[in-house]
Structure 1
Amino acid sequence: MRRGTMTDTPPSAARVREVSLTDFIQYARRKYVKALLAGLVVFGVCLLVLSLRPPVYSAQTTLLYRPEQADFANVNLLASGMDVSSATINNEIEIIRSTDLLSRVVERTGLNRDPEFVTPAKLVDVDVLASVAGGIFRGGAFDWAGSALGWARAPRDVMPATRRMPAIDVVRAASALRGRIEVESERFSYAFTLSVSSTVPEKAAILANTVADAYIEDQLEAKFSETKRATNWLSDRIAELEARVRESESAAAQKRAEFSEISGRDAGTISQQIAQLSTQLVTAQSALTAARSRYEITSRRREQGEVVDSDGGQNSDTINRLIELRTDLRRREAELSGRYLEKHPKLIAVREDLAQVEARLQQARNASVGDARAELRAAEITVQNLSNELRRVERQAQDFRQAEVAIRQLEREAETDRNLYETYLSRLRETTAKEDVQTADVRVLQRASVPGGPVGVPPLLLAIAGGAGGGALWLCFGFAVGLLRQGFNHREEVEEVLGETVLAVVPEVAPRHLQRGVVEYLQREPDTGFAESFRKAKSVLALRSMMTNNAVICVTSSVPGEGKTTFASGLAYEFAKSKRCLLIEGDLRRPSFASRVMNRDATYGVGDVVDGTASLEDSLVTVAESNLSVLFAKRALSNSPQLLESEGFARLIETARNTFDVIVIDAPPLLATSDALALGQVCDSFIYAVRWRTTEKGVVKAGVKSLRDSGCRIAGIVMTRFDTQKGGEVPGYYYENYNRYDKYYTK
């Protein structure tokens, strides 16, 4: 098995080719003729359509919004004044464009019966089209078709005579009229312009003036209705306020009557009385405290057996004499007890006197506690009475203050209602006085006149712009389509993505030229771009030192139909001009040499040579006047992988190496079968065919990767079936001049 080493390795990441403005300019330079033709077609269509459309005339009137009148309406609405600003002007513009106002214009002018406003917009003017056609189609079918498409000829009178105003027609006509109206405000002023367009100049002027008049009348009606509404509202409010004033005054009088006895006293007198009662209460509370203290002292001393005054003191003469007498009697009792017996008359008399003194002292103690208790009770009653009186006076003061607050509140409400009543009454008088002198906030500065000519850009300029845009759009579309194709568009892209050298680009040849085979066509037409591509591939292989003595080259592709058989036969034919070359049909499952390479019949094929039925020399078909020999497959073989990997096929290749200088094998598609990888055991290198713009990049990358993973050497890539007419649609591709190759040799 012979395998070559890989000299070219793919880059780690394929670099995406950047598209610049220069690429688009080059593409436009190559395709300027087609772009010019596309632009001329668009120009012609635009000019025809624009020429057949009826001309449009626009009449314009100028209105001025007078800000000094704006406050009048605001007074009627009882609202604060609002400055005239752009928002105010925009509101007026929206009123002009409102359906209600335009419906009145339609009813006034009868536009609901005008075909220009009740039928769909006409693409072309039937009268102009009929005049262009020379009157051939006038009447009959042409009029019927025009009516069906909404192209009926409109009468040229200024306004239709008949008037029918069903609501749906009026609304439809008002909607159409809104599309013909343009209102623009003037900068740095309160003026704005009203423009109305129509196919009839007189109609445009009448509509512009009618819309302006209807707008002014609408404003007057709106102000009158607002004044009426304000008058009614003021009348209702005045009646309500009058009732509220009466209620407030009545409530204040009733509240004042309820507190007449309090309201007759001065607030200062009540405050002075509260101060006096507060002072007396403090004094009474102090006396209460002293009485409670004396009571507690006398009670405690009575319990201890002491005799005190009612005020708690011990300085009473009577009590002092009784105490002295009690002391003297106790002393005498003691003396007598020491000298006499218990029943001695003197001792008994002394003890009786002592008992009487004790009784009188007990009476004195009880009298002192009773007096203290009576004094304490009197002090408590005094404090209670003063507290009750103070609370009563304080409640009277609070009621007085509440009454004053309530009365003042009622008086304020009555005063407020009275003032508001007087204000509304004056506003009502003012509104009633001005009701009959309403003036519009807008005045007409300049009424519309009949326009002298149509508006808009001339049809010729529009057609020129359309033609230029059409040509540019065609260029952009073609350029984008070329960029979005899935296949390879140019050789630089192939080399960037696959990391392999592109040996040649083989142009597409019409099938009728290859009916008798590629070899015969190359013999008949040697000076074509098709033949030159094979010579270039041969030269590149020689310069890259890919050609060794007795070299075996396999030509394969990713999928069928990529032109690998055509390239293999053409390359072999070029090699045969200077060397002995053998072309082997390696696609044993689908033999096609007899129809594509050369129109010859073979006696034996590859299978016969491998199994020993025939020799290699007997199986070859020789091309006349050439060193090219062809080994056909002859018949389809189902066991092609086993045959290509067999020793018999290896001996065939070794025998061919000893006889021929170059051996070219047309291998099967790489991703369709495994036969191509089986040929890797006997070939020196592979040439990979890629169809221009057709084979997807992922498929080609998968095929090349399988060859590299198998250790096969890739001699290069060949781009096949290149369309010389469309090659210039891709930026950077410069093979579109292949179709001029023949002129190089004929000059």
Structure 2
Amino acid sequence: MSGVHNSANDVDVDLGRLFSSLAANWFRILVVSLVITGLALVFAWLATPRYMGETRLLIETRESVFTRPDTNNTSDTSPIFDEEGVTSQVEVIGSTDILKRVAQKLNLASLPEFDETADMSMIGRIMVMAGLKSDPNEIPPEERVLKAFREKLTVYRVEKSRVIVIGFSSEDPKLAAEVPNVLADTYLAMQRDAKSQSNADATDWLEPEIADLRTRVKEAESKVAAFRSKSDLLVGQNNSVLATQQLSELSTELARVRANRAAAQANAEGVRAALRSGTSLDTLPEVLSSGLIQRLRERQVQLKADIADLSTTLLDGHPRIRALRSQLADLDGQIRNETEKVLKGLETEAKTSSFRENELVASLNTLKAESARAGEEEVELRALEREAAAQRELLESYLTRYREATSRKERNYLPVDARIFSRAIVPSEPYFPKTVPIVGAAFAASLLIMAIVTLLQELFSGRAMRPAPGARPQPIEQVSMPEPQAEPAPAAQPTEARKPVAPARARPRVERKIAKPSSLGEITVEMAAEKLIAGGASRAIFVSPEGDEAAAAAVMVAREVSDAGLRVLLLDLTSHGAASLPMLERASYPGITDLLALEAQFSEVIHGDLYSDCHVIPLGTVDPELAMRHADRLPIIMNSLTTAYDVVVVECGPADAEGIRRLVSDGTEILVSVIQPDDKAIAETAADLAAGGYDKLTLVSPSGHVPPASPQPDRSAA
């Protein structure tokens, strides 16, 4: 295929000759620099010196709690100290009214410095006549003074403070100090006048308002007194209306009477039932509580005891026993009679309670009507009282403010919310021009500019160019480029989210011997790499049942895939970091344990392989047990690495199916490293992985693989 020859590829810049041009033209550079420096010196010498004076104001409240009658209500008197408030004061200081007062007080219009027409240069007059500049005579003198005043005035707020700086530059040092001081005094006087006017306006407004409020308060209180006397609302205990209080007491008494009636009726019914059934009356508390019945019962017990004693010596027909039995029968009749009397008393008590209950219910109904009427009147009364109280509070507030405003007006006490804490003094040295800095800057800048001009002249002239090493001048027609050899493209292409693959550094190619597959079915490192590339796998999980020595297979496969031009990262999850040790200069690098423990970031744990373009994340420096407490972050880390790299190779060491479950996702290949095919651990691991659902295993043997001849110590981390 024919190509186009680019002559730019056959020349190079001779840096030695390029910079030697500075030495060859040193005299011209020095002369031009000295001329420019001399002009700067003349300018600094002839320039009119200017002086700067500064006055500093502090925006703060000058009011105190001792001079404010109402210390609780400070919302109307406290100044605004936020950024917007201080910036507003800066604009007030530079306002036209204040500048006019200062200009009139200092008679600035009579100074040539403030009148452009008094000292116009010849060049300025020519520009005015040519129409290139407006004629200052057409502007009123007052506007010319204000324009010159603003050009020389600087007012700004110190950042993150309430300090305002007033600066003024002038040819006269005394005027440079006098103007900012007079401007600050004028600002304070203007603020004081504004407060005085506001105070007078408040006094004029409060006088008729107070008179009107006094009339309204008097009328409101009169309405309250008249309504209270008309409605006859008497207040009892607990600040409640007397009818409501009586209703509450009557309700309590009614409940007590009803309880007594119910108790009396229940007791009477119990006594009546006992008399009808003929049961023993000793179980009735009302009967036992009677004193007479108690004495009769005692007499009855005594007679029974006497009969029992005489029965031991006398027969039942003996006259004495018969007499005692007759007395005992009389006692039973007396007890029954007394019980009937108790029953009549209980019935009488129940009737009395019922009569009392009816009377209380009637009184209660009457009080309910009175209480309802009193409640309605009380609502209206409270409304009148609230209106009177509101009018009274407003009157007291207005009286307080009126007295405050009147006292301030009489005593002329109106503190301004600003004070001058630093007045301008007459400057002894001008701030412009500074001869030494101007001359030094002119000399350094002229040297630099002349050096750049000299280098550009030498470069564009072609004298600083030389032929490129190994370049031979050939005609364009005879130069051709060889046909590129077609290479098989890998099936797994990087996604759009991944970064483009960086070109690998040139390194000597090493011839490798390819070992054939053994009888057990394991494949070589080269074949495993080709399988990962052709299959489009995004993850390769290596399990090494034979220990750390078998971890070399994962390292070799990662390097092989990296040599094919893909972005590859090896993640070392072995217990002792066996996979990453041959890839790094030392073992103490931050790694996956630091990343899991949130003590490092991705950029700190990804390192470059000494022998290839492969990247590696070592074991790390954090305790693995502490890091595994955050093992739930491992799938997130794997997803991030899979997005950034074409293939992520993970060396797990002697792991089982449950141990690699967090690492497996779509596009994952499971590989088993084999050194001794007859090792029992290989068969056990393969069976465990198959039982865990990973039956498609690939056995990889590192035998026959020739490692690179020399390391590349200049490779940097990712």
State the TM bucket, normalised to the shorter chain.
0.3 to 0.5
Which structure has the greater CA radius of gyration?
1
TM-score (normalizing by structure 1): 0.38
The TM-score, its normalising length taken from structure 2, stands at 0.39
